[in-house]
Amino acid sequence: MDIILKQDLPSLGYKNDIVSVKDGYARNYLIPKGMAIQATTSARKIHAENLKQRAHKEEKIKNEATELASKLEKLDIKIGAKTSTAGKIFGSVNNIQLAEVLEKEGFEIDRKYITMPSEQIKTVGNYKATIKLHKEVSVELDFEVFSE
């Protein structure tokens, strides 16, 4: 029996995949638990239309993320930190401070999507951070930590 998966199942496939399983497994387990629906001709047409609409929305989101990535690459980011005479930072600089600086520049980016080379930066210098804007779009952002 062919079914359309409603959620990811490690042994079968991913959400919206059409897979073939034994009739008893589909009728007694997958369909009653709401994990799948039977792939009838009408269900296949609805499934195809939903995939087409979702692809259009995903393309629009990806294009917006690409535009944002090109704007972020042009930025010159500087983060000030209090340091000792040897150049060591009191405390550390992490993705929270970088997200705050980006917000002041006019870019609303959640700190969860910012990854740094090390979790905390403890010395003055130039660094790179990776910002994941979309599952297929990420940008490397150069920034400088300087002594205030």
Number of structural domains found in the chain: 2
Are 97 and 60 found together in one domain?
no
Are 50 and 91 found together in one domain?
no
The pLDDT tens digits for 5-24 are: 999 888 888 888 899 999 99
Range list of H helices, 33-127: 41-73, 95-104
The pLDDT tens digits for 23-74 are: 999 999 999 999 999 999 999 999 999 888 888 888 898 899 899 889 888 8
Tell me, what's the pLDDT at 32? Answer: 95
Measured in degrees and rounded to the nearest 5, phi and psi for residue 70 equal: -65, -35
Measured in degrees and rounded to the nearest 5, phi and psi for residue 93 equal: -110, 130
Segments forming the whole domain that contains residue 100: 68-147
Of 22, 47, 64, the one marking the end of a domain is 64
- Geometric angle at alpha carbon 34, from 22 and 41, rounded to 5°: 60
Indicate which CATH number applies to the domain containing 29. 3.40.5.10
Are 106 and 82 found together in one domain?
yes
What is the rounded distance in angstroms from the CA atom of residue 38 to the CA atom of residue 81?
A: 60
Indicate which CATH number applies to the domain containing 143. 3.10.430.100
Report the pLDDT averaged over residues 67-87: 86
